[in-house]
Amino acid sequence: MFAVLITVLVLELRPPERPVFEALLERWPTWLSYAVSYMFTSNRRR
């Protein structure tokens, strides 16, 4: 189940259209939500 959830999260990622650092700064809420989801899912797996 954990692998399926992480795969779905990764499939939603899109490559940036601009330089990587600028795109990351612009999308920090999205990246933060992915990080929190990953940590929550991995913690619940134990």
Dihedral sign for Cα atoms in the order 14, 18, 19, 22: negative
- pTM, two decimals, is 0.48
User: What are all long-range contacts of 34-37, with beta carbons under 8 Å and residues at least 24 apart?
Assistant: 34/9, 37/5, 37/9
User: What are all long-range contacts of 26-30, with beta carbons under 8 Å and residues at least 24 apart?
Assistant: none
Kindly state the average pLDDT of the residues 18-45. 81
Contact 32, 3 (CB under 8 A): no
Q: Identify each DSSP E strand in the chain by its residue range.
A: none
Kindly state the average pLDDT of the residues 15-41. 81
Range of the domain at 24: 2-45
Domain count, the chain: 1
Kindly state the average pLDDT of the residues 11-39. 80
Q: What is the pLDDT of residues 8-23, one digit of tens each?
A: 777 777 776 778 788 7
